[in-house]
Amino acid sequence: MRYHNITKDDMLNGDGLRVVLWVAGCNHCCKSCQNPVTWDPNGGLPFTEAEINEIFAELDKDYVSGITFSGGDPLHPANITGITDLARKIRQKYPNKTIWLYTGSLWEEIQNEEVIHYLDVCVDGEFLVDRRDPSLKWKGSDNQRVINVPETLTQGKIILHAE
């Protein structure tokens, strides 16, 4: 897995103050994407133990609500194994921190992936510039869904995260 950035003290990509991991690799290539530099799975830098330690140092802070995986697409084939492993470690070490994930894939396409069992929120769907709405919270276009993952898994139907 490769990454482009680790953002600290972020308040735009999920609830509360967060750390954001921006991974490399995306096959969706949405028109007017805010991060086209992250599309190349060979771009960015190698994600190593040093980056894991950097993320954990942020998550150790009481005032940090959790982590958000974005990119690129965390569920790109180059990322899915690394993101799943990292999400598992974070869930074990920080059970009270929230884990958000942004993907261009639809929930219906990813609902059998192991990683979803570690998530609190999944923002799914490609960004569609013709459906862009800057007034929306945590998403860029009105086709995207902000999904409450634990409730969705419990109820067996998509439950949206309260805004």
On whether residue 161 sits in a domain, the answer given is: no
- Domain hosting residue 110, numbered range: 2-155
Q: Quote the pLDDT of residue 23.
A: 97
Q: Among the residues of the chain, which ranges form H helices?
A: 49-59, 80-93, 107-110, 149-155
Give me Rg for the CA atoms of the chain.
15
Tell me: pLDDT of 128 over 90: yes
**One-letter amino acid identity for 123?**
V
pLDDT over threshold 80, residue 163:
no
Is pLDDT above 80 for 115? yes
- Residue 70 in domain: yes
The tokens for 96 are 């009270």
Alpha-carbon distance of 32 to 34, in angstroms, equals 6
**Higher pLDDT pick, 31 / 21:** 21
Report the C-alpha gap between 25 and 37 in whole angstroms.
9
CATH, residue 23: 3.20.20.70
Identify whether 141 is part of a domain: yes
Q: What is the distance between the alpha carbons of residues 17 and 39, in angstroms, rounded to a whole number?
A: 26
- Flag whether 163 is in a domain: no
Average pLDDT taken over every residue of the chain: 95
Does residue 30 fall inside a structural domain? yes
Nearest-10 Cα torsion for 91, 93, 94, 100: -30
Question: What is the structure's pLDDT at 32?
Answer: 81
Whether the per-residue pLDDT at 105 is higher than 90: the answer is yes
21 versus 35: which is more confidently predicted? 21
Predicted confidence (pLDDT) per residue in 74-92, tens digit: 999 999 999 999 999 999 9
Q: How many domains does the chain have?
A: 1
pLDDT at 123: 97
Residue 45 gets which letter from DSSP? Answer: E
**Helix and strand numbers, DSSP H then E, in the chain:** 4, 7
pTM attached to this predicted model? 0.96
160 in a structural domain? no
- pLDDT band (50, 70, 90) for residue 36: confident
Taking the C-alpha atoms of residue 136 and residue 143, their distance in angstroms, rounded to an integer, is 11
| Predicted local confidence at residue 55, as pLDDT | 98
What's the pLDDT band for 144 if we cut at 50, 70, 90?
Answer: very high
In a domain? residue 16: yes
